[in-house]
């Protein structure tokens, strides 16, 4: 069975600094997707970034980038130039496609606080 | 283009009552997923549906919980005879066929008193 592990329940970063959130996963599949979602206090789940496993190039979205290490089954999120609005719960998620769709398997989450 | 619509936003039920949670997927999305988030935890998959079919219900509790996605109308997650432990946020998400990501609704917070 696929599992996703986030080993950092809480992280803190100074405004304008860089922080890295860790995620590891376990799967026997070779083709899958990985995601980082942000959940602010409003509870809305917001997609931050996605990575296709077949792509060697790490995904980047503005201040957000990932370090995808397929052999090590590691998928960390780097937030550069942290802003107060980045404070939220961050969830790493794995998805394997089947029946043209596929559920998400989430990690336990990392609560990020940003200090002014 | 409206996103995933869930209602109600908040639902309070007494123990033993039934709870019905509704989800209308994004236009063009034929795949619906339900997730549950207990306090201080991540989201846990419950069920994956396509129109009139349950594809994967491996995360659904064996009793009291059911889900449907009829040909017409929203997807419904039904919880019969609710207990305090059912109190949680329930999220619906949708995706197009072969789409790589989910679009989430705002969730329904169920409180059982």
What average pLDDT does the structure give for chain A? 94
Strands B88-95, B75-79: pairing kind: unpaired
Query: Structure tokens of A24?
Result: 């590891």
Mean pLDDT of B4-26: 97
> Which residues pair with residue A92 across a beta bridge?
A36
The answer to whether B63 touches B49, Cβ cutoff 8 Å, is no
Chain B neighbors of A91, CB-CB under 8 A: 42-43
Task: Look at residue B84 and give its three-state secondary structure.
Answer: helix
Disruptive mutation site among A101, A105, A108, A110 for chain B (greatest number of B CBs within 10 Å)? A101
Strands of the B19-24 sheet, one edge to the other:
B5-7, B19-24, B75-79, B65-68
Does the beta-carbon distance from B104 to A33 stay under 8 Å? Answer: no
Query: Structure tokens of B44?
Result: 């846990």
Count, residues in chain A: 116
For tokens 């790589």, the residue is B100
The answer to whether A21 touches A112, Cβ cutoff 8 Å, is yes
The answer to whether B26 touches B84, Cβ cutoff 8 Å, is no
Tell me the pLDDT tens digit for each residue of B28-42: 888 999 999 998 888
> Which residues pair with residue A93 across a beta bridge?
A35, A106
Tell me the pLDDT tens digit for each residue of A37-76: 999 999 999 999 999 998 889 999 999 999 999 999 999 9
pLDDT score at A99: 64
Helices first, then strands: H and E counts in chain B: 0, 11
Query: Structure tokens of B92?
Result: 């619906």
Task: Look at residue A38 and give its three-state secondary structure.
Answer: strand
pLDDT score at B40: 80
What is the enclosing helix (H) or strand (E) of B94?
strand B88-95
Q: For B107, which of A43, A95, A102 is closest by C-beta distance? A: A43
CA of residue B101 relative to chain centroid, distance = 17
Query: In the predicted model, is pLDDT for residue B1 greater than 70?
Result: no
Query: Structure tokens of B17?
Result: 């009552």
Question: Chain A: nearest CA to B21, how far in angstroms?
Answer: 17
Query: In the predicted model, is pLDDT for residue B98 greater than 80?
Result: no
For tokens 């705002």, the residue is B106
Tell me the pLDDT tens digit for each residue of B43-74: 999 999 999 999 999 999 999 999 999 999 99
CB contact residues (below 8 A), chain A span 14-73, against chain B: 33, 35, 42-45, 47, 50, 52
* E-state strands within B4-84: 5-7, 10-13, 19-24, 31-37, 43-50, 53-56, 65-68, 75-79
The answer to whether A93 touches A104, Cβ cutoff 8 Å, is yes
Q: How many CB pairs under 8 A join A and B?
A: 66
Chain B neighbors of A88, CB-CB under 8 A: none
Mean pLDDT of A2-31: 95
Query: In the predicted model, is pLDDT for residue B9 greater than 90?
Result: yes
Query: Structure tokens of B48?
Result: 């994956």
């Amino acid at each position: 069975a696929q599992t996703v592990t986030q080993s950092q329940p809480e992280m803190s970063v100074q405004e304008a600094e860089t922080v890295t959130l860790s995620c590891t996963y376990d799967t026997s599949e070779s083709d899958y997707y990985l995601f980082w979602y942000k959940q602010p206090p409003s509870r809305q789940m917001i997609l931050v970034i996605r990575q296709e496993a077949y792509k060697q190039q790490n995904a980047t979205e503005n201040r957000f980038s990932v370090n995808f290490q397929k052999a090590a089954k590691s998928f960390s999120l780097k937030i550069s130039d942290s802003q107060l609005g980045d404070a939220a719960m961050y969830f790493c998620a794995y998805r394997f496609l089947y029946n043209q769709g596929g559920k998400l398997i989430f990690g336990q989450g990392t609560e990020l606080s940003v200090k002014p | 283009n409206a996103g995933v619509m869930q209602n109600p936003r908040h639902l309070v039920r007494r123990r033993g009552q039934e709870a019905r949670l509704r989800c209308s997927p994004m236009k063009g999305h034929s795949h619906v997923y339900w997730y549950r988030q207990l306090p201080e935890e991540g989201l846990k998959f419950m069920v994956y549906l396509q129109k009139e079919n349950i594809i994967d219900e491996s995360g659904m509790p064996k009793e009291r919980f059911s889900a449907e996605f009829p040909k017409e109308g929203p997807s419904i997650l039904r919880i019969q005879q609710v207990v305090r432990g059912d109190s949680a946020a329930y999220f619906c998400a949708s995706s197009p066929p072969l789409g790589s990501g989910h679009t989430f609704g705002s969730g329904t917070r169920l409180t059982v008193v």
